[in-house]
Chains A and B, each alone.
Chain A
């Protein structure tokens, strides 16, 4: 395989709340993202998936661990050149399309802000034209540029968010729960759009979500997070056809199917970390086969795979 676009090694993110209490949001997570692929991060709320995204793009300063993006370390102190590269080549789409767009700015200025900051355009016409092209690419029309965010529906607003992320031609887009706030039919539209854009621009996605069925649909590889630990990782086929970790199993069993007769008989597998006797901090990465890894102690690994 080619050189990894993003390499996360032992990323740890702790938030000290008081002298005696620290929230350990992310504990030693490692994974890679290759150019043009989609990596899905799933887990329940509080599992640290959003924190990982925000630490990578440097909305937080990582406590320890290294993150390499296009060969450069971006987890420590950033020099000007690296910062410029990071800010342009990595973009984020946020969860709530209402809260993440400035209500006092027109769509053209929201989308074009990155161009202004990085001095990528020389004239106003050029900017208007670029924004117009991008609006078309995300399924809106250039006339929408003069409108304000509140004049759009939820799905359209998320399209504006996607256009804003795309304007810098990024190599990696972090999509943080970007479809959770949308209706089912609109979710499908946005996911299809993201796939089309990937085919065209070959950007990579870090797709953060708790909806496993959507993650399966869009991702090439998946990492399952729980309580800040990456408990299982692999290609989507490996994870879905052969889940090893009990948490992954319970997560998969909780997905409801549109088949009432089956659904009424089925009961999800329950999993409780406190009573399961598993201690994530003791586990090490075990290879199940292919690229499929699971976090376990030697003993746990033997009993889960036998």
Chain B
């Protein structure tokens, strides 16, 4: 692959101390992000997808302990040479001053709570610019207006003085994106950027992020549980469950040839617009409580295809192709041949046919 890796997470392991005991939230996560590409991390709430990204930007809660792992970030310094640093080895202060904002920026889920209600939005955008760049106020203002135009706010001059409560949800999320882009980051992390928004606005925001990504050559990480969104934006997909990545592949491999039973479940649980099944497929049970370290495969209890070994040993990542890996014993050469559920197979077949028709 010609693209270079800009962010590499290796064997990340994080636990939280709570009153109830130690919660082992992240249990060895590996993740690669290539320059200019989009990676989506999918999983249920509590699977650890947000925690992983918070570790990258140094926003972990104070009761978190990083047991092992490294987060290698590669960037070009002023002289144009590649530099690699481990974000877990530098101090929080250093991270805030040199990395956050300028190199790695984050967009949060709820545009209601991530803006300051007492400050006009223009000022909030300028804040980041003034902090990270050596610019005069007038220059910062011009830059902020330019950003507002970039994120598709038409009457930027007028909106500049508005407070967050005077804007609609979609507008607010655009402002949050403008703030994230204010110091020209290389990586944009979007934590459920559209979950709080309607479908029509969601579609617009996703197109906007895609547009900006092309213009500014950004690498984007999406955290989401909506597979429809993933299909629209992602190049690579990481499926997370109980603090581990259970399947990783490029977007076509995950959607047309999923191998892990959890991915099957996630895909089946989406309501299908084509068929009129009477019941929606749902993954039985709920995610495990990581207060008690799961033995074997954490998904085994909810997995109708679980083998005896799933209860005893954790499956390693089995290689399916250069880019496609899945952690399930079903892929072991000695495992019985188990196919995905019939309804899902039909659905994927139909999806593939639609694509073929498109290519003709």
Contacts and interface: CB of A to CB of B under 8 A. Distances in A.
Interface string B258-279: 0000000111011101000011
A188 interface: yes
A197 interface: no
Contact of B279 (A192, A212, A214): A192
A185 B265 contact: yes
A103 interface: no
Q: Which of B169, B266, B269, B282 has the most CB of A within 10 A?
A: B282
Interface string B196-230: 01111111100100000000000000000111111
Contacts of B198: 44-45, 210
A189 B229 CA distance: 21
Given A154-B45, A183-B44, A256-B228, A262 B354 contact: yes
A211 interface: yes
A262 B283 contact: no
A212 B272 CA distance: 11
A184 to B, nearest CB: 5
Contacts of A71: none
A44 B200 CA distance: 8
Contacts of B203: 253-254, 256, 268
Contacts of B225: 183-184
Chain B interface, DSSP helix/strand/loop, else mixed: helix
Given A255-B199, A256-B232, A260-B234, A216 B45 contact: no
Interface string A257-299: 1111111110110110000000000000000000000000000
B231 A258 contact: yes
B265 to A, nearest CB: 6
A186 B269 CA distance: 9
B273 A210 contact: no
A115 B163 CA distance: 46
A4 interface: no
Contacts of B204: 268, 270
B273 A188 contact: no
B269 A258 contact: no
Given A45-B169, A184-B270, A258 B228 contact: yes
Given A45-B169, A258-B255, A187 B231 contact: no
B271 A214 contact: yes
Contact of A216 (B207, B271, B281, B283): B271
A235 interface: no
Contacts of B354: 259, 262
B280 A217 contact: yes
| B: contact size bracket | 35 or more
A153 B286 contact: yes
Given A155-B286, A184-B266, A192-B279, A212 B232 contact: no
A268 B286 contact: no
A256 B226 contact: yes
Nearest to A213: B271
Given A155-B286, A195-B279, A268-B200, A261 B273 contact: no
B269 A184 contact: yes
A216 B199 CA distance: 14
Given A186-B286, A217-B280, A267-B207, A257 B273 contact: yes
B68 interface: no
Nearest to A240: B273
A56 interface: no
Interface string A198-241: 00000000000011111011000000000000000000000010
A214 B199 CA distance: 12
A251 interface: yes
Contacts of A267: 207
Contacts of B279: 192, 195
Contacts of A5: none
Interface string A15-49: 00000000000000000000000000000111000
Interface in B18-49: 44-45
A154 B45 CA distance: 10
A187 B267 CA distance: 13
B270 A258 contact: yes
B114 interface: no
A130 interface: no
B252 interface: yes
B355 interface: yes
Nearest to B356: A261
Nearest to A264: B232
Given A257-B228, A257-B273, A260-B252, A189 B199 contact: no
Contacts of A262: 351, 354-355, 358
A95 B265 CA distance: 25
Contact of B273 (A153, A195, A255): A255
B48 to A, nearest CB: 14
B168 interface: yes
Given A188-B280, A254-B200, A257-B231, 4 more contacts: A257-B273, A258-B267, A259-B231, A263-B228
Interface of A: 44-46, 153-156, 183-189, 191-192, 195, 210-214, 216-217, 240, 250-251, 253-265, 267-268, 270-271
Chain A to chain B: the 3 pairs with minimum beta-carbon distance, closest first: A256-B228, A188-B282, A44-B198
10 contacts: A44-B200, A154-B45, A184-B226, A188-B269, A192-B279, A251-B199, A254-B199, A260-B251, A260-B252, A262-B355
